[in-house]
Amino acid sequence: MSEDTLLTELDEAGVLTVTINRPESRNAFDTATQRLMSEAFYDASRNPAVRAVVMRGAGKSFSSGGDVKALGAPDPDDAIAQQWSSEPVWSDVEARTDRLRHFMESSLWLHRMGKPTIAMVRGPAVGMGLSLALACDFRVASETAFLMTGFSRIGLCGDYGGAYFMTKLLGPSKTLELYMLSERVSAEEALRLGLVNRLIPDHELEARTVELARQLARGPAVALRYIKENVHAALDLSLEQALDTEARNMIRCRLSLDCKEAMSAMAEKREPNFVGR
């Protein structure tokens, strides 16, 4: 069943782990897995029980990118795809563009949802796999990890927002270099460049990623939401607009139950118990 290619697990701390489960292809994405992923991140964005999201790959790989062997193959669980896949209109540029753009909402949900998102990277993060990792707020990598855009090697330009996120992190010149040359970036070099936040020994990767995710999940959810919005505003808006955003978000946080709890806990010299409101 295609549902087995993407696994989700929500723990008692509110950490949702989303696992690409195609280890036989180094977690390459076929059409069905792209659909399931878009649905999973959309659901995570609106589920109050989810306080943080971890994206990972099964086995020794994060993701080798799109599955070139299944490129364009219809989703077996999509009734419309099954009905129309043999018709010329299904292969037209407009229809294919619309389908790809719909799947690419995964990057938007990871980037924009008001919750912390973490990519746990071991082994390859290539192509759209790299793009999705870059869409996350944090990238925690093991010493086995390597990053590569990979698109130009197969005559493609890139998707899932990878060029957008990388340009924000590295600037246009370095991004052009990595996209045009498709050179492999080691975990150590990725850390130096700022493409990953933390570099962890492989045998500690899962435990320390979960520790980070649970730390974030226990935090003041309202404040974390608006910290994320403020940082995005700093990149995308003018100073005046960013100040407006910060002022509005500061008052929203100040009126939250989490802020009141934090103030009480500080006065009482205890750890706060945040409820996410």
Domain at 142, CATH number: 3.90.226.10
Q: Are residues 237 and 190 in the same domain?
A: no
Q: Are residues 188 and 137 in the same domain?
A: yes
In this predicted structure, which of 13-22, 77-86, 170-179, 186-195 has the lowest mean pLDDT? 77-86
Residue 276 lies in a domain: no
104 plus 209 within the same structural domain: yes
In a shared domain, residues 147 and 259:
no
Same domain, 110 and 243: no
Mean pLDDT of 133-162: 97
Give CA–CA dist 121/57, Å, rounded.
8
Share of the chain above pLDDT 70, in %: 98
Whether residue 18 is found in the same domain as residue 93: yes
Any domain includes 141: yes
Given a cut of 70, whether residue 116 has pLDDT beyond it is yes
- Separation CA 73–CA 274 (nearest Å): 46
178 and 146 Cβ atoms separated by less than 8 Å:
no
Q: What is the pLDDT of residue 157?
A: 95
Looking at the 3D structure of the chain, how many domains does it have?
Answer: 2
For residues 259 and 159, state if they share a domain.
no
**Residue 90 sits in the same domain as residue 160:** yes
Residue 2, pLDDT score: 61
Please report which confidence band the pLDDT of residue 1 belongs to, taking 50, 70 and 90 as the band edges: very low
pTM for the predicted model, two decimal places = 0.93
From the CB of residue 8, how many other CB atoms can be counted at a distance below 10 Å? Answer: 18
Q: How far apart are CA 168 and CA 191, in angstroms?
A: 16
Same domain, 18 and 115: yes
* pLDDT confidence tier of residue 80, bands split at 50, 70 and 90: confident
Q: Which domain holds residue 263?
A: 221-268
Same domain, yes or no: 189 and 165: yes
Separation of alpha carbons 210 and 221, rounded Å: 17
Whether 275 is covered by a domain: the verdict is: no
